[in-house]
Structure 1
């Protein structure tokens, strides 16, 4: 789905990742689920591009529903995979603490599970080698992504600010569709390691200049990061 010049979404409101298309090549933000590979090839084809035009994958964190096809790109096309140092082990091995899921409803929860099954999400392929990044880094990738540390959902959760796309990608720092309850609108994400820290981290994006706030789960929101942060806090 094309959202704006340079900006495309793969997937849907259950799980999504994003493609930034520039004259210098393509940057991916997250890699969804393994089955999103077909979505990627379809979007690339519509742009007259191929996986060889991808210069890097930037992970907002290392959870399995965000690393999807990253290892396939790395091993078959030599695409580097970037992740915050604090989430490098999670992206490479899947090791993470057990956290409370919180509220859930059968319909949405089964819908999330069913979608993950269809997209091979229950057989994650972890990333064999990652390039570690840190808060404040400006990556030498198309769009010059700026890394903003957002610890809470995981220790190495980040937002990725890409001015050329007028967007900030927030991963699971917040959600606009709760995958376990189906509730829509800005809210804290489930499966968060440290909910209080995640809320505090929202201050990190409040001052960014962007028209799009793009989560890994839920609809894209065309609103300022500061306003969306306030709305998340109002329902927490």
Structure 2
């Protein structure tokens, strides 16, 4: 689905991944769940681009519902996978720490887990190899993605800022639709390692000149970063 010229989405408000489409190739930001591979192939067919046009994958963090089909592309097509250095082991299969129990409602929670299972979420292959990145790095990929360190949801969480499409991808540092409660609007995301750290990291978005703030779960935020931050703070209470 096209969000804007050169900016496309696969998946839905439950779990999503995104494509930066440029003349010199395509950059993937996150890879959702294994079953989203078919959605990727279908999306590429709609825009007339071969899968070989994908030049790299940037993972906002190493949780299973973001690494989805990344290993398939890496192992079959030698597509490089970039991730925040502190999340490299998590992407390779290290077990994340237990997180505080989040609020939940039975309906939204069942829909989230049912969707994840339908997309292969019970068997997600870990990454065999990743390229660690740090805040401030500009990656050699279409769109020249810039890495912003955003520790909190996980130690190596990053935001991916792509000025070419006036967007920043924030992974699970925030959500606009809570997968366990169904509540919509910018707010803290569930399954977060360090909520205080995550809340602090949100302020790193303040100076970005963007039209889109795009989480891994929930609808993309169409608007500037300060407005999003204000809505997030209001939801924090």
Is TM > 0.5 for Structure 1 vs Structure 2? yes
Please name the residue that 1:166 is paired with. Answer: 166
Please name the residue that 2:205 is paired with. Answer: 205
C-alpha distance in structure 2 between counterparts of 1:163 and 1:33, whole Å: 26
1:94–1:16: structure 2 CA closer, same or farther, 3 Å change rule? farther
The range that moved more, 39-48 or 225-234, is 225-234
C-alpha distance in structure 2 between counterparts of 1:148 and 1:30, whole Å: 15
Please name the residue that 1:181 is paired with. Answer: 181
SS of the residue corresponding to residue 13 of structure 2 reads: coil
SS of the residue corresponding to residue 19 of structure 1 reads: strand
Please name the residue that 1:133 is paired with. Answer: 133
C-alpha distance in structure 2 between counterparts of 1:98 and 1:81, whole Å: 26
Deviations 1:117-138, CA, capped at 9 Å, x for gaps: 1000121111100001000000
Deviations 1:11-65, CA, capped at 9 Å, x for gaps: 0000001001000100000000000000000011111112211000000000000
Deviations 1:152-172, CA, capped at 9 Å, x for gaps: 000000100001111000000
C-alpha distance in structure 1 between counterparts of 2:135 and 2:2, whole Å: 28
The range that moved more, 56-65 or 218-227, is 218-227
The range that moved more, 64-73 or 48-57, is 48-57
The range that moved more, 180-189 or 94-103, is 94-103
1:101–1:17: structure 2 CA closer, same or farther, 3 Å change rule? farther
Deviations 1:86-118, CA, capped at 9 Å, x for gaps: 000000014210102310000000000000010
Compute the TM-score of the two structures, normalised by the length of structure 1.
Answer: 0.99
C-alpha distance in structure 2 between counterparts of 1:178 and 1:122, whole Å: 21
SS of the residue corresponding to residue 34 of structure 1 reads: coil
Please name the residue that 2:44 is paired with. Answer: 44
Please name the residue that 1:20 is paired with. Answer: 20
C-alpha distance in structure 1 between counterparts of 2:48 and 2:120, whole Å: 27
Contact 1:63 1:94 (8 Å CA) reproduced: no
C-alpha distance in structure 2 between counterparts of 1:30 and 1:101, whole Å: 25
Tell me how far 1:75 sits from its aligned partner. 0.7
Tell me how far 1:4 sits from its aligned partner. 0.3
Compute the TM-score of the two structures, normalised by the length of structure 2.
Answer: 0.98
SS of the residue corresponding to residue 202 of structure 1 reads: helix
Consecutive unaligned residues in structure 2, runs of 5 or more: none
C-alpha distance in structure 2 between counterparts of 1:168 and 1:123, whole Å: 29
The range that moved more, 90-99 or 13-22, is 90-99
Consecutive unaligned residues in structure 1, runs of 5 or more: none
